[in-house]
Structure 1
Amino acid sequence: MSAKIKYTDEPVGPLKVVSDFLPAPEELVFKEDTVKVTIALSKESVEFFKHEAEKHHTQYQKMIRRLLDAYTLAHKRPLTKRSSRRRKRAAER
């Protein structure tokens, strides 16, 4: 049970002006470099992404693109000392 709010015409108290910290709309538009490709995906995968996109009110192609971008980012990370040693040994064999 929520309490009712009682509004009055009393003074609010000292006010503080807050500077505008929000970015301009132009700064919110991110243009990504994209390349159009033709790819055949399994029907099951496409149906999955379409269903999930509908649940989250977005486009399924955008979800697939973000998944690929996340995969790319994860595999572009610099090699650790241990993983680079392992790759070096594998290349020597």
Structure 2
Amino acid sequence: MTTVLLPLLIAAQATTLSLSPEQVKAMSHQEIRAHNAVLQRGDAEYIRCVKTEKVGSLVAREVSCRTNAQWRKAQDIGNQDARDAMDAYKGKAVNSN
């Protein structure tokens, strides 16, 4: 009985804690699957892993795992940086006629 309840208790505690990027990177794929088993795909603490091609290699891949909240934060920061760059260069155009 305790062997069945222990993983459920651990999983329930994991859903209430916010994971840091270092904690997510340290997790194995099996731990990530166990963590995600009690969460819905749209949950902020659900962990998504994305494989990207490694620059300069035909076969190597890099795997980046983050929670949905961390992916959303990275996207927001990237969008804000792009907006700031566009605003900075908006008035810099020079007509050489």
TM-score normalised by the shorter chain: which range applies?
Answer: under 0.3
Structure with higher Rg: it is 1
Q: Give the alignment's TM-score, normalised by structure 2.
A: 0.27
Task: Return the structure number with greater strand share.
Answer: 2
